[in-house]
Structures are given as structure tokens and as C-alpha cells.
Amino acid sequence: MIMTKKLYGLEIKGNIKAMGMIVPLMSQNMSKLNLIFTPYRNQGYGRDITAALSATIQAQGKMPVLYARVENIAAMNLYASLGFLEAGRLMEIRLE
């Protein structure tokens, strides 16, 4: 199976203020938001790109999902304010 990825940017007055990627998942009814990033903190660009990408996924009849580090409180609060619910936690295991 070949999965394609699309990178999106939030452009305002000719400048990219935030970016994010949509990654199709093996499940036919979900797509993952990935690489949500903005260097402009507390200006709403992270919220805007996340909401826009979520709406794009929902318009395709799919459910948006994402992964976030629980220690990233700002991201966790942002995602919760947009209606994302925590469905579980992943464990990081390192082999040395």
C-alpha cells in the first residue's frame, strides 16, 4: 500500500505562519495530523492550522487523529480546546 502525505502551510500576507501534514492511515476512516508547527507562539496560528487540517479531513468523511507528547501542555490544551479527546498513551522504549 502506498500512502501519500500532503504538507500544508498557513500563509498570511505572503508569509508562512504555521504548517502541518495530513497522513492517511491504514484505517480507511482516519487520517493523522502530523508535524503541526509554528514559530509564532500565542498568536493563534497553531490553532488555525490544526482547525483547518481537521476540517479538511472531516470534509473527506474521515476522523482526524494526532499524537502529542503529554508533557507538551500547550499542545495538549490546544488540541483539547478543538475537541480532540485523549484515547490512550504510548510508551517510549529505548534499547541501548
CATH class of 6-81: alpha beta
Cell 501542555 belongs to which residue?
A: 73
Q: In this predicted model, what pLDDT tens digit does every residue of 64-90 receive, in sequence order?
A: 999 888 888 988 999 999 999 988 888
> What is the arrangement of strands in the sheet containing 15-24, beginning at the earlier edge strand?
6-12, 15-24, 30-37, 63-66
Q: In this predicted model, what pLDDT tens digit does every residue of 9-52 receive, in sequence order?
A: 898 898 889 999 999 888 779 999 999 999 998 899 999 999 99
* 20 close to 49: Cβ distance less than 8 angstroms: yes
* pLDDT at residue 2, rounded to an integer: 43
Torsional sign, CA 82, 7, 66, 16: negative
User: pTM for the complete prediction?
Assistant: 0.83
Domain range summary for the chain, segments of one domain joined by +: 6-81
* pLDDT at residue 1, rounded to an integer: 36
* pLDDT at residue 4, rounded to an integer: 54
